[in-house]
Structure 1
Amino acid sequence: MRKKLSRFAAWLLTLGILAVCLSGCWDYKGLRELTVVAGIALDQSDNAPNVYSLSFEIVDSTTPPKEQADSVMITSEGRTIFEAVNNANKQLHNEMYFGNTDIIVVSRQLAETVGIDNIFDAFLRDYNTRDSLLITISRELTAKELLESPEDENRISSYFLSDSLIDSTAGTNFTRAYKLFEVYNLRMENAGEIMLPALRFEDKEKKLLRTDGMALFKKDKLTGFLADEDMPGLIFATEKLSGGHYVAELDKVGDYLTADVISSKPKLGFRYESGRLTLTSFVNVLARVVEVDTDIKEIHDEEMEFFEQKACESMVSDITKVIKKMQAEREDIFLFGREIFRKDPRLWDTLKDDWDTRFSQAEVEVSCEFLINDTGMIRGYYAEGVS
């Protein structure tokens, strides 16, 4: 018995020594050995065709701890993205570290001519980069200029941009942020088209940035942009919401109802009968009134039904308009193709080879249920007979 206990104790001691001596990260590097990259801008080179120009926003490690962090920009070129990264490393004392990289900005020219599949491939294969970083499109001449901070501001533009994109995706605001792996997965499904947030300067001299709708793609090539006014129809038709607002136009020109969205649940569907495809969209919205810009001020049963009817009609119009617009462009950003693939794979097999044409020629049916449960008056929630 004592021998067994001694052997067991010896094994425990050996395991303890091994755990202490051999544990740790195999490629550990200290902060002083790394150059932290906050964001990357991709452009085409002005000096040679088929050459990438990459700009890296690097966190300035010399900034005193009590001051706001600053950044510096370095640019390199290469026939491939990996070659451009290696050329950039030659300009630095320490190797670049991409673990804290939050955003990739792609120039409009590069997205239109070269496409973005090669960009996904390069960054997804590199174990140093995270597949959760955001990707966006520049509507300016270059992507680099979006990452250049104003001279009088000490800020890291890449982190500012990524935070702004994430904040703007709440509720019904006019853009959506997509992570690298999400866009890659959509491309691999091949059941619809991707879209990415677009950025431009509101004031170029002051370098005030703003989101500007969504960039639209055919396969991996940029084809155009979806304007802000089309975003509500797209968002309500495709996303579950628990916040944001909706502005509905009433009968008279200039009369509007503004509703705060409590919940919104969309449902995309389809019917295929006698060789004819019908795409369906249904939205169930629960909301509260926050502003009534009309002569109607006292809200009783009749007025409540009127507001719900007009809000529903307005939403059906918004969704129908953007679906028809995308049908004219032959771009299924709603991902109806994915819906067919998931619910009826055999039907999708017969439609997928000619999906662009099938989508553009399909009939569209949009319906809505809009319920207002709070008038915003001092007595609280709306109930029958109470205003």
Structure 2
Amino acid sequence: MKKKFFNSFLIVSMLLGGCSNYKELNQVSIVVAIGIDYLPKEKKYHVITQIFNPSAIATTTQSGSQSVPVIALDEKGRTILEAVRNVSKKGSRQNIYSHVALIVIGETLAKERSLNYIFDVFERDSKVRVNIPVIIARNKSVGEIMNNITSLDKISAKSIVGKIKNTSALLGENQETLMRQAISAISSSGREPVINGVSIENESESSETLENANKVTSSYDKINGTGIFRDGKLVGWLDGPPAKSIQIIDNLIKETNVQIPCNKKEFDSMELTRVKSMTEIKIKDNIPIINIKIKSIGHIDEVFCNANFDKAKTLNKYEKSAENVIKQSMEKGISEVKKFGGDAFGFGEKLYMVNPKIYKKYEGNWNDTFKKAKVTVSVDVQINNVGMRRKSYPY
């Protein structure tokens, strides 16, 4: 009897009791993106919080009229949190950060202030998840990148995240970098973080208005290059096909393609899948000796030169050409990163995994040791598909 009474009392208490931190939806603002930059002259951080505008959906549903999908509030502070709290002067509702989908870092901040301390505030605060993408505003201010209203995805954070996923799956020059991955790389002495850049194309006075979304040739954000870091600071950019070298070495390529010169004027195209690499590293006379072996499956997907793929010698020719193109691109990418001096490939981590005792000798100045590395690249491409047509069009 006592047990039944206790159970009944517990249920009634749960039904009648409330949550102490309960808030009505019309009392909060949902932050979808955060932008952070540094103002050297003022020695302050500039923080932009992009807030979802629920009235944009309500007005569209009720009357067919449109409102801007997001609202941007910005403030300055000696610390990031001071700037965030200063935003409260401009907002009538308490910000909720659990739905943040993107962190935008200013190029000035990335170059002048080490990211080692920037992510500290996010990792300490449980209100913000650390499994969200991070990008760098390249050649543009953080505000310009965040507040550009595009046609398909009017919320720029959603647009940028979608483009990163799209280009990483199809092109392979960029890979989504989550905050926790950047933190892990910063915490490692044998790897530097790599963070994608984003810029704006066709920018105009109406880029931050709904008018931009109604244009055929509207302004749009574009994934632009891979940021290379050393000691937490941005030291340069890796652009184009050489940027694939990072993804290939880390075995992150889903699919990509290469353009193969078939004569002095034309190029043929080959799709690459199952791109796998193996890295061997050792130290000889205080110099890292790195051997990279790459294997891939090739598919001919576009031909501009007369070629008969019924012949084995034609396939062999295309395989060799693809191998040379990939090798040259890899060597260029590795060479450029070595000039910047930051180990974006994680060769130090790979050395630690196979020989931690040797790595410990170079741990304190691994980036300088990496700049001296001698790297050899070997590539093996096997063509197993030439498409529906064996012979190209005669011309």
Short-chain TM bin? 0.7 to 0.9
| Alignment correspondent of 2:85 | 86
- What does 1:297-312 align with in structure 2 at a 5 Å threshold? 297-312=308-323
Shift in Å, 1:319: 0.8
TM-score, normalised relative to structure 1: 0.87
CA distance in 1, matches of 2:331, 2:310: 29
Residues in 2 aligned to 1:56 and 1:77: alpha-carbon distance in whole angstroms: 12
Structure 1 residues 344 and 152, CA gap change in structure 2 (3 angstroms) = closer
What is the rounded CA distance, in whole Å, between the counterparts of 1:71 and 1:88 in structure 2? 16
Instruction: Report the identity percentage.
Output: 19
Offset at 1:154? 8.7
Q: Say whether the 8 Å CA contact 1:102–1:159 is kept in structure 2.
A: yes
Corresponding residue SS for 2:169: coil
Determine if contact 2:160/2:223 at 8 Å carries over to the other structure.
no
Q: Select 1:226's aligned residue among 212, 234, 238.
A: 238
Cα RMSD, aligned residues only: 2.6
Please tell me whether residue 347 in structure 1 is matched to residue 358 in structure 2: yes
Q: What is the CA deviation profile of residues 134-171 of structure 1, one whole-angstrom value per residue up to 9, with x for unaligned ones? A: 21111234211111235999922222222222222214
Is 2:48 the partner of 1:55?
A: yes
Q: What is the aligned counterpart of 2:327 among 309, 313, 316?
A: 316
User: Are positions 1:28 and 2:39 aligned together?
Assistant: no
Report the more deviating stretch, 369-378 or 255-264: 255-264
Per-residue CA deviations over 1:84-104 (Å, capped at 9, x if unaligned) read 111101221111111121112
Going from structure 1 to structure 2, the CA distance change for 1:227 and 1:264 (only over 3 Å counts) comes to same
Match of 1:383 in 2: none
Paired residue type of 1:211: I
Question: For this pair of structures, how many residues does the alignment match?
Answer: 372
TM-score if structure 2 supplies the norm length? 0.86
- Per the alignment, residue 249 of structure 2 pairs with 237
* Counterpart residue identity of residue 26, structure 2: R
Which amino acid letter does the alignment assign opposite residue 57 of structure 1? Q
Of stretches 287-296 and 266-275 in structure 1, the one that deviates more from structure 2 is: 266-275
Is 1:145 the counterpart of 2:168? The answer is no
Within 5 A, what are the aligned runs for 1:271-286? 271-273=282-284, 275-286=286-297
Residues 36 and 378 (structure 1 numbering): CA distance in 2 closer, same or farther, change over 3 Å? same
Q: Deviations over 1:256-283 (max 9, x none)?
A: 3322223111222213345543111111
Structure 1 residues 154 and 234: alpha-carbon distance in aligned structure 2, compared to 1, 3 A threshold: closer
**Matched position secondary structure for 1:62:** helix
Contact 1:36-1:100 at 8 Å conserved across structures: yes
Give per-residue Cα distances to partners, 1:85-139, cap 9 Å, x unaligned. Answer: 1110122111111112111211111211123222201122122111122211112
Unaligned runs of 5+ in 1: 1-5, 380-387
- Report if the CA contact (8 A) 2:176-2:196 is conserved: yes
How far the C-alpha of 1:209 sits from its partner, in A, is 1.8
User: For the Cα contact (< 8 Å) 1:230–1:318, is it kept in 2?
Assistant: yes
Q: Could you tell me which residue of structure 1 aligns to residue 225 of structure 2?
A: 213
Query: Which residue of structure 1 lines up, in the alignment, with residue 192 of structure 2?
Result: 193
Paired with 1:239 and 1:249, the residues of 2 have a C-alpha distance of 22
**How far 1:217 sits from its partner (Å)?**
1.2
Looking at both structures, which has the greater relative contact order when contacts are Cα pairs under 8 Å and sequence separation is at least 6? 2
Note if 1:37 corresponds to 2:31. yes
Cα drift, residue 215 of structure 1: 1.3
Take 1:153 and 1:251, find their aligned partners in 2: how far apart are those partners? 38
